[in-house]
Amino acid sequence: MKYKHSETMAKTAKKDDEYGAGQITVLEGLEAVRKRPGMYIGNTASAGLHHLIWEVVDNSIDEAMAGQCDDITVKLLPDGWVEVVDNGRGIPVEIHKQTGVSALETVLTKLHAGGKFGQGAYKVSGGLHGVGVSVVNALSSELRAEIKVGGKIYVQDYQKGKPLKKIRMVGPAKGHGTTIAFKADDSIFSTTELEWETIIDHLRQQAYLTKGVKITITDEREDEESPSYTFYFEGGIASYINHINRKREPKHEQIFYVEKQYDEKVYVEVALQYVEEYKEHLFAFTNNILNPEGGMHVQGFRTALTRSINAYARDKKYLKEKEDNLTGDDVREGLVCIISLKLPDPQFEGQTKAKLGNIEARPAVESVFGEAFAIFLEEHPKEAEAILGKCLLAARARVAARSARDAVLRKGALDGLTLPGKLSDCSSRDPKLSEIYLVEGDSAGGSAKQGRNREFQAILPLKGKILNVERARLDKMLAFNEIKSLIIALGTNIGEQFDINNLRYHRVIIMTDADVDGAHIRTLILTLFYRYFPDLITAGYIYIAQPPLYRVQYGKDVRYVFSDEELEATKTEMMGIIAGKKSAKGKKNEDLPVVIVEENAEPHDEVVSENGTDTEETPAPSGPRISVQRYKGLGEMNPEQLWQTTMNPETRVMKQVHIADAEHADEVFDVLMGAAVEPRKRFIQIHAKSAKNIDI
């Protein structure tokens, strides 16, 4: 029997493991996009949804950069529709020889089809890969294209990437341009709710980067008066610097700005201003596409910046002959800079265009910026003095910080493998399997240590509120014991010696109380990570634990809920269960009042008469009871409850921290945690009504 069973299993496995031509699947046309949308737009959540708008708008921006368009309109319409209109040349509508269908249908249904592959339609463009508008078509349940060209208007409708009919001419038209209206497919996207502020910020940025183009956005989703914004900036990225620094204190009034054609291919724009801060804020663009990981243009800029400032400092005797030069970190402290490059055939890393790889970009920026900035320093001695003062102060702080950091590491090494005594480490030494909880207070830390899984969970209690690093230099920060312990526990070092490969835990989890103080501590820790460990956020290693707000119990049914809305829904559900049962006396429970008991509350309350005098105490009502316990802090949970609700990988809820918009995130941190009081006061006044259920 055993042999026959094994023989049968072997035959079945052989049959299942057969691999031949029949197992090869060929995805035609846009099927691949619908099958694997994340490969083309990043994800199918909110970011991917908005990416559809960016792709269509990018085509209109390309027309503007080609000098063929100066007016772009974006409308958010009811039922999830988005319409993008431009007054460019209009997508060609004649028959394409290679595909046998109209050029419009070709670019809407064929990947890697467009006018950006060296045929002379565009000198520069953002959409290098040519998959933009076809991907939008593939991921839309419906799409309509209207083209005004040659005094006529042409229309074609699509469903899920497939044309319903051939392109048709519907009448005469004045002017020229392209209109693309689409509705994102809700069977693909987890959300189809468009964020008004996100779209405004993106289109404002595009208007800054494209001088002379007017971009209008209108929200027509509601019946009420439609909000509308129009962006038009003659100053280009110099105006953009003004916008970014509007809530910061500048070190000098005059903004440096240069624009110049380097050769026949590369056009360079750079604007910068120093502010009273410690961090660098640099935004690099190629053909209006943000390159968050920089690239060759950023390398060229940084080389020229360091060389120019050092040359000026030596020439004006700010640096003595025997003194070391200012470093790149010194000259970038407090720098706010925008680099905008326009060139044909940009070479990006992947469809997300995160990093520019064109070799020719480096000498172009280095030459154009270096020459112009040297002249700027000579012609503006007041600005030059302010910039040099900032850089020299940064150099002195760097020396002090290095001494403080070295002292920290030397001390840590003597403590035993650089680990602080308060850390309860895990037994695993595999960072991919290990996680560390940064816990508020010793009480919660004690419960977490008892409730954790020692194999892969480490606990680091943080006593009180850590230093606000937004207002502190590195040397002062390293003198703060809680931050020092955290840095040593992570193992990555900090500053110029930071190495993410030495991170000891691939899940760094912030676990604080669900009250105002807990939120403040969480914000302080996030500020530390955002300013000094941004790579940990980018890599997806930072999480926020979500402890429950309430424990709700009816009989043996115990549930943990995480919001007031969920609490009301849970109580309603339990009351429904109670109503369906019969009491011991045969009565239906719906005939008895349900009693909601808050733990630690008095068993019965005094009744106050109409004239305000106290009357007799009334007995507590009888009936089915639902017990509700409000957790004010993590310390109120015993180890078992903390494990079950917040630390058990099978049942816990966590939020992963990521940066969707670096510029906006930077601005929020600066407003909420920076030294300037007035912007924070305005922020609180504006958003005070949005804050609900705050514990005071």
Question: What distances in angstroms separate CA 267 from CA 59, 360, 425, 441, 692, one per listed residue?
Answer: 20, 11, 54, 55, 50
The answer to whether residues 405 and 497 touch, using CB atoms and an 8 Å cutoff, is yes
Per the DSSP assignment, residues forming a β-bridge with 338 are 271, 283
Which of 656, 655, 659, 634 shows the shortest CA–CA distance to 645? Answer: 634
The answer to whether residues 291 and 353 touch, using CB atoms and an 8 Å cutoff, is yes
Per the DSSP assignment, residues forming a β-bridge with 157 are 144
**Phi, then psi, of 575 in degrees rounded to 5:** -65, -35
Question: What distances in angstroms separate CA 453 from CA 291, 609, 634, 652, one per listed residue?
Answer: 41, 55, 17, 13
Residue 181 Cα to chain centre, angstroms: 27
Catalytic residue chosen out of the listed positions 31, 259, 371, 515: 515
**Phi, then psi, of 191 in degrees rounded to 5:** -145, 145
Catalytic residue chosen out of the listed positions 435, 513, 667, 670: 513
Residue 88 Cα to chain centre, angstroms: 32
Catalytic residue chosen out of the listed positions 440, 470, 666, 667: 440
Instruction: Give the position of tokens 């240590």.
Output: 449
Ranges assigned E (strand) in 66-224: 71-76, 81-86, 140-149, 152-159, 162-163, 168-172, 177-184, 214-219
Per the DSSP assignment, residues forming a β-bridge with 230 are 216
Q: Is 564 a catalytic residue?
A: no
Q: Is 62 a catalytic residue?
A: no
Side chain identity at 236, as an amino acid letter? Answer: G
The answer to whether residues 127 and 58 touch, using CB atoms and an 8 Å cutoff, is yes
Q: Is 406 a catalytic residue?
A: no
The answer to whether residues 62 and 133 touch, using CB atoms and an 8 Å cutoff, is no
Q: What is the CA radius of gyration of the chain?
A: 31
The answer to whether residues 51 and 58 touch, using CB atoms and an 8 Å cutoff, is no
**Phi, then psi, of 246 in degrees rounded to 5:** -65, -25
Answer left, alpha or beta for residue 471, where phi above 0 means left and psi between -120 and 50 means alpha: alpha
The answer to whether residues 189 and 45 touch, using CB atoms and an 8 Å cutoff, is yes
The answer to whether residues 33 and 111 touch, using CB atoms and an 8 Å cutoff, is yes
Q: Is 440 a catalytic residue?
A: yes
Quick one: tokens of 528?
Answer: 């530390």
Q: Given the DSSP bridges, would you call strands 614-617 and 81-86 parallel, antiparallel or unpaired?
A: unpaired
**Separation between Cα atoms, residue 178 and residue 337, nearest integer Å:** 34
SS3 percent helix, strand, coil of the chain, rounded to 5, is 40, 20, 40
Kindly write down the DSSP assignment for every residue of 239-286, as one continuous string.
HHHHHHTTTS-BS-SSPEEEEEE-SSS-EEEEEEEEBSSSS-EEEEEE
Angle value at C-alpha 469, between 464 and 472, nearest 5 degrees: 120
Residues belonging to the chain? 696
Catalytic residue chosen out of the listed positions 517, 535, 590, 661: 517
Catalytic residues: 440, 513, 515, 517
